[in-house]
Structures are given as C-alpha cells and as structure tokens.
C-alpha cells in the first residue's frame, strides 16, 4: 500500500517538475514595477495595469488553492495516522490531494501564459533572458563571496 502511494507521488513529481521549471524562468512577484526591468521591456502604463490586475486575480486564486491543498494534505495525513488503514479511502484522498496540487500548478501556469500574452513573444523571451542573467550573476557573486570567506572554525 505504502509503495503504491510513494510510487504515485513519484509519478506526479515526474509529470509536474517540468511545469515548475517553466515557472522559474521569470522573476517572482511584481517584476514589472522594477523601473530598470520595466524600461528594458518597454512596458507602457496599460500593460503594467494589466499585469497588476492579472497578478491580483491570480494571487487570490492561489491563496484559495493553497488552502485547499493544505486541507487535502491534512486529511490524507489524518487517514494515514489511524490504527486501521482503509486503503480505498487513502487512495481517494491521495487523488484529491493530487488534484489540488494540479489545480495550483495550473493556476501558476495560467498566470505565465497571460503574462506572455500581455508582453508578446519577443519581450517575454527578453524577460526570461534578463532574469536568467540576473540569477547567474547572483550565483557567481555568492560563489565569489564564499571563495573569499575565511573557513569556519
């Protein structure tokens, strides 16, 4: 039974991991309000307003979906902690948990699609490139900082 559940979890991770990596291609939060980035992407006020509206609506949905996910996770843990294990009930709850996880990922991906629609292909690619450069420069800075740091005693 436990092997089936763990196997199911691994399959879900394998399926949804690519979506998570796509979500990490653009900065989190309200990146369009960063003046330098906004200027480099040549965003106008209407586009910023559209991105703000999209962010607020998506964030509201994410809050609800995260609550649902936590509730389903709690219910599964509760079923697994009982002395007698009802395998069918555990599997049903596991499916509810995975649906909640999928819904959450779907909303995050929907936000990305809508942001891409507002920016258009060229500027979306530019955003991804700028964010990639930023992440790499921060990693390089952290490596350099750690290299010059005295060893812990």
Average pLDDT estimate for 71-79: 97
More confidently predicted of 150 and 122: 122
d(CA 130, CA 141): 16
Is 80 a residue whose pLDDT tops 60? yes
Is 54 a residue whose pLDDT tops 70? yes
DSSP at 96: H
| Spatial contact of 104 and 62, defined as CB atoms under 8 Å apart | yes
pLDDT at residue 144, rounded to an integer: 46
Write down the architecture of domain 48-123 according to CATH: Up-down Bundle (1.20)
Residue 151 binned pLDDT confidence (cut-offs 50, 70, 90): low
d(CA 131, CA 31): 10
Rounded percentage of the chain residues whose pLDDT exceeds 90 = 68
- Give the domain ranges of the chain: 48-123
d(CA 119, CA 31): 13
Residue 7 binned pLDDT confidence (cut-offs 50, 70, 90): low
Residue 19 binned pLDDT confidence (cut-offs 50, 70, 90): very low
pLDDT digits (tens, 9 = 90+) for 89-141: 999 999 999 999 999 999 999 999 999 999 999 999 999 999 999 888 888 75
Instruction: Using DSSP, state whether 127 is helix, strand or coil.
Output: helix
Q: Which of 59, 50, 45 is nearest to 116 (CA)?
A: 50
pLDDT at residue 145, rounded to an integer: 38
Q: What is the pTM of this model?
A: 0.71
């Amino acid at each position: 039974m436990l092997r089936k559940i763990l196997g199911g979890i691994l399959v879900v991770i394998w399926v949804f991991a690519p979506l998570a990596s796509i979500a990490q291609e653009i900065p989190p939060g309200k990146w369009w309000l960063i003046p330098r980035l906004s200027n480099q992407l040549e965003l106008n006020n209407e586009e910023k307003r559209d991105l703000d509206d999209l962010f607020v609506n998506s964030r509201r949905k994410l809050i609800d979906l995260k609550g649902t996910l936590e509730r389903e996770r709690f219910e599964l843990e509760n079923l697994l902690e009982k002395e007698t294990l009802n395998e069918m009930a555990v599997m049903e709850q596991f499916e509810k948990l995975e649906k909640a996880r999928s819904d959450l990922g779907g909303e995050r991906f929907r936000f990305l699609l809508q942001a891409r629609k507002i920016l258009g292909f060229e500027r979306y690619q530019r955003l991804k490139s700028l964010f990639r450069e930023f992440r790499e420069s921060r990693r390089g800075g952290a490596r350099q900082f750690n290299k010059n740091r005295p060893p812990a005693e």
